Amino acid sequence: MRKISYLNIHNLLSVAIHHQEELNWFPELNQPMRFFQVDQIKGDPEIIMEIGDFQPQIKNCFIVDHKYYIRQNYFFCDDSFKGLKWRVEFHGFEEGPTRVKLHIQKMDMKYHLTPGIIYNGLFLRQLIAYHLIRKGACLIHAGACAKDGKAVVFFGRGGTYKTTHIIQFMRQSRGWNFMGDDTLILSGKHVLSFPYSLSFFGYRYANLPDEQLSVLDRFRIFPYSKKFNPSSIGVEKQAEIVALINCSVGVGIPLNFHPADGEASIRDLARQSAVDDYTNASIGHTQTYPKYVEAYSLVFPENGLSKRWQEVMKQMTCLSSIKPYHLEVPVDFLDHLGGLGKNNVYKQIDSVIKVA
């Protein structure tokens, strides 16, 4: 049986997903954007995603690398990556509302448990990012907590312990609400929450000292997600940024928190958010969507897609008045988490922000 679920992303964007019943096995895991789920949307959705088998319309297409079928505003390909095979067709690839048809064959067992994460990670997130840019906002690769309408944003590449910092910061300084630990929407000087897989964060926040999941945790998360109540975590919808914290990890360096250069921080944030377009950690860093865009640019060099991150750089110039900081931690940081009491970096962050 086919179902339609709707997402309303802060009244900026609406998405319709047509999918099979199977997605409801573990709804919290399979719909990472469940936070935005609504029963009804007003007007036409900007993104329509149809999951299931389809017949592509590849007449009169340019063909790149024997597998990418391209014509104006249209893209089709048959692709595979690590135990996954898919056929995907985009109508409105570059302009107008985007209609995506996606058929996924899962050769690897583990993907059968979380089919929703696959289509979200492969295309939906990137499409949301592109449509937001056209609306004057953008998706950034960062996490944040907020209190009284003021937000502290932690940004950095994957594996720089953004989630751990947020968990620890929320625990150790009272009164902070959650906004997102991986992705946020940036609109002017404000951030809008984008809690991606809220139950994952909920599980970590309730049970773990840091973000690392053990093998046992990976099993426990299924029953947890079944009875997870999204309202158990306070999520703040919108807040003004008061501090930007650039997180990084180094080999053989001490823990260090200090003010940073403003211009460089904003450039880093833009650059790292652009890179997030290239990678997706949940499916082992596929580079599918950006590669499709590059193939499309080969056929149509002048297009809005390839210039999308230049657009973001322009939007970010208004962030220059915000105080930036740099938080460096050693690689073995997690082993010493327990010993943070004396030289507590999170207390330090809290006091710095109070002064600001």
Q: How far is the CB of 217 from other proteins (least distance, A)?
A: 18
Q: Name the minimum Å distance from CB 324 to other proteins.
A: 15
- Nearer to other proteins by Cβ, of 168 and 265: the residue is 265
The number of residues making up the chain comes to 356
Between 12 and 275, whose beta carbon lies closer to other proteins? 275
List contacts with other proteins (CB under 8 A): 59-66, 80, 82, 157-160, 248-253, 267-268, 271-272, 274-275, 278-279, 281, 284-285, 287, 290-291, 294-295, 297-299, 301-302, 331
Q: Where are the alpha helices (DSSP H) in 152-214?
A: 162-172, 198-207
Give residues with Cβ within 8 angstroms of 132, minimum separation 6: 9, 12, 13, 138, 139, 185
Return the number of the residue (160 or 183) whose C-beta is nearest other proteins. 160
Measured CA to CA, the distance from residue 168 to residue 255 in angstroms comes to 15
Do 158 and 165 contact (CB within 8 A), yes or no?
A: no
Read off φ and ψ for residue 29, nearest 5 degrees: -80, -35
State in angstroms the smallest separation of the CB of 268 from other proteins.
6
What are phi and psi for residue 104, nearest 5 degrees? Answer: -115, 130
| Closer to other proteins by Cβ: residue 287 or 344 | 287
CB-based burial label for 258 (10 Å; 0-12, 13-18, 19+):
exposed
Specify the residue, 90 or 176, whose C-beta has the smaller distance to other proteins.
90
135 or 218: CB nearest other proteins: 218
- Give the ranges where the chain is alpha helix by DSSP (H): 27-30, 110-113, 115-119, 125-134, 162-172, 198-207, 215-226, 262-276, 288-299, 308-316, 345-355
Q: How far is the CB of 80 from other proteins (least distance, A)?
A: 7
98 contacts 127 by C-beta, under 8 angstroms:
yes
Cα separation of the two ends of the chain = 54
| Closest distance to other proteins from the beta carbon of 300 (Å) | 10
Nearest approach, Cβ of residue 117 and other proteins (Å): 18
Q: Which is nearer to other proteins, 298 or 337 (CB)?
A: 298
Least distance between other proteins and beta carbon 350 (Å): 26
**155 within 8 A of 245, measured Cβ to Cβ:** yes
